């Protein structure tokens, strides 16, 4: 089915309005109890979408891709599994920051995440944001139930990153008008959020009712529509994108799985032009409230990213299998305890799956349920035969000797 907005410039006003009326009157059209009002014109339009074979196929592809990724992930050894989660988390945070124009680096986020995992007190950037995503993965973040839950997520995910003048000044959200500018740098205003705050809160309540109670819309389509409508409401002066992508990820954990939920920001940034354009078109008069274009783009981004994540994971698994064979046949470990090979394999998992490569004595001892003294002794002996090396102190970080897997 041709998206409605593509007919806008091909038809005169009368024919286009007739086309719109035919679309929204389809027996299969799913009309929502939510309306939008395109900028600078008087009419409001109900949101609706038409189930198509294209949407059905994309939903099927998303479930298949997520199931494949989750299956490979669940069969990883424990250290590799934990490190892959951290890698996905780092990618998700880096990409959501990139979309918002927040300068960060993968290394910076990875270091902060490492310190949080080690339970070290730190005042580094993004600590609150990292903890929120870690809590999402651990299942400690529940489905939002009320507008205040959106505000809590916003506070945690933007802590320390929003100028004081841009912080919410209303009861829950913003009091004044806010504008969305075209990302091309032209300065053109392409959308403004709902005002006043009373109306904004009611819109958020309508969104939550749709996400949590609507029974007639497939879950994955609900996430796509919810993601769009949050952007339309625009409840904050700044930080809406980061907040919205996290909220959508909360719902995606229940629809596609915990690891698959880490696909949204990564994909949205990689395909940012399509992602941002989908909002602009759906907000516009030529979109008339039709959601098919946004749903198609949203699902396409999810599917492509899940396939890419699966491909990356399969490559890491292959490298890890080769590493296991090398360690198992390592002649220098023939006459020592099998635990030395186990340590080396744990470090190999870390080597291939961790962006901030290396493990502490504490991490290694916890992995094997040893005392730190026992772990330190074995590590020292592996260093003496030049299989692993140390970086830094307090804490010392241990990793596989550089170049070991190249030979």
Which residues are annotated as part of the binding site for ATP? 238-245
Nearest to 364, CA basis, from 354, 356, 374, 355 = 374
Say if residues 233 and 205 touch (Cβ distance below 8 Å). no
Contacting residues for 254 by C-beta, under 8 A, at least 6 apart: 143, 219
Residue with tokens 């170049």: 403
Bind-site residues: 238-245
Measured between alpha carbons, how far is 157 from 105 in angstroms, rounded to an integer? 17
Nearest to 350, CA basis, from 95, 68, 110, 67 = 110
User: DSSP per residue over 307-360, as a string?
Assistant: HHHHHHHHHHHHHHHHHHHHHHT-GGGTTS-HHHHHHHHHHHHHHHH-SS--B-
**194: helix, strand or coil:** coil
Residue with tokens 């004044």: 176
Measured between alpha carbons, how far is 309 from 92 in angstroms, rounded to an integer? 12
Catalytic residue among 5, 234, 254, 338: 234
User: DSSP per residue over 62-131, as a string?
Assistant: HHHHHHHHHHHHHTS-HHHHHHHHHHHHHHHHHHHHHHHT----HHHHHHHHHHHHTT-----TTHHHHH
- Scanning 214-337, the segments in alpha helix (DSSP H) are 219-233, 240-255, 264-270, 272-283, 292-328
Decide if 254 is catalytic. Answer: no
Residue 13: CB atoms within 10 A of its CB come to 8
Say if residues 193 and 252 touch (Cβ distance below 8 Å). no
Measured between alpha carbons, how far is 77 from 197 in angstroms, rounded to an integer? 49
Q: Is the peptide bond before 395 cis (omega within 30 degrees of 0)?
A: yes
- How does DSSP classify residue 171? S
386 phi-psi bin (left φ>0, alpha ψ -120 to 50, beta other)? left
Catalytic positions? 234
């Amino acid at each position: 089915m041709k998206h409605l907005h593509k007919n806008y410039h091909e038809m005169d006003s009368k024919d286009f309005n007739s086309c719109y009326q035919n679309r929204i009157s389809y027996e299969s059209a799913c009309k929502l109890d939510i309306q939008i009002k395109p900028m600078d014109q008087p009419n409001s339009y109900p949101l609706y979408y038409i189930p198509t074979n294209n949407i059905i196929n994309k939903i099927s592809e998303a479930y298949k891709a997520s199931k494949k990724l989750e299956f490979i992930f669940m069969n990883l050894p424990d250290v590799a599994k934990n490190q892959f989660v951290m890698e996905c988390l780092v990618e998700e945070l880096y990409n959501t920051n990139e979309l918002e124009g927040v300068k960060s680096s993968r290394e910076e986020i990875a270091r902060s995440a490492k310190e949080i995992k080690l339970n070290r007190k730190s005042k580094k950037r993004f600590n609150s944001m990292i903890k929120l995503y870690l809590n999402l993965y651990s299942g400690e973040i529940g489905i939002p139930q009320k507008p205040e839950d959106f505000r809590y997520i916003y506070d945690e995910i933007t802590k320390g990153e929003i100028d004081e003048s841009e912080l919410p000044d209303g009861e829950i959200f913003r009091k004044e008008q806010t504008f969305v500018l075209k990302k091309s740098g032209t300065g053109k205003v392409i959308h403004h959020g709902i005002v006043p705050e009373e109306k904004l809160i009611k819109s958020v309540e309508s969104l939550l009712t749709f996400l949590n109670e609507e029974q007639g819309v497939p879950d994955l389509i609900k996430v796509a529509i919810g993601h769009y409508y949050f952007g339309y409401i625009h409840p904050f002066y700044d930080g809406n994108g980061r907040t919205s992508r996290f909220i959508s990820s909360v719902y995606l954990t229940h629809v596609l799985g915990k690891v698959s939920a880490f696909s949204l920001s990564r994909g949205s940034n990689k395909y940012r032009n399509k992602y941002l354009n989908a909002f602009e078109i759906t907000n516009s008069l030529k979109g008339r409230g039709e959601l098919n274009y946004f749903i198609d783009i949203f699902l396409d981004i999810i599917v492509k990213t899940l396939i890419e994540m699966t491909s990356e994971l399969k490559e890491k698994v292959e490298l890890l299998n080769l590493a296991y064979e090398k360690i198992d046949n390592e002649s220098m470990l023939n006459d020592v305890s099998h635990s030395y090979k186990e340590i080396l394999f744990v470090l190999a998992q870390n080597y291939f799956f961790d962006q901030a490569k290396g493990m502490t004595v504490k991490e290694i001892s916890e992995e094997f349920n040893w005392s730190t003294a026992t772990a330190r002794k074995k590590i020292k002996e592996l260093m003496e035969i030049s299989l692993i090396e140390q970086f830094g102190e307090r804490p010392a970080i241990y990793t596989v000797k550089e170049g070991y897997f190249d030979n």
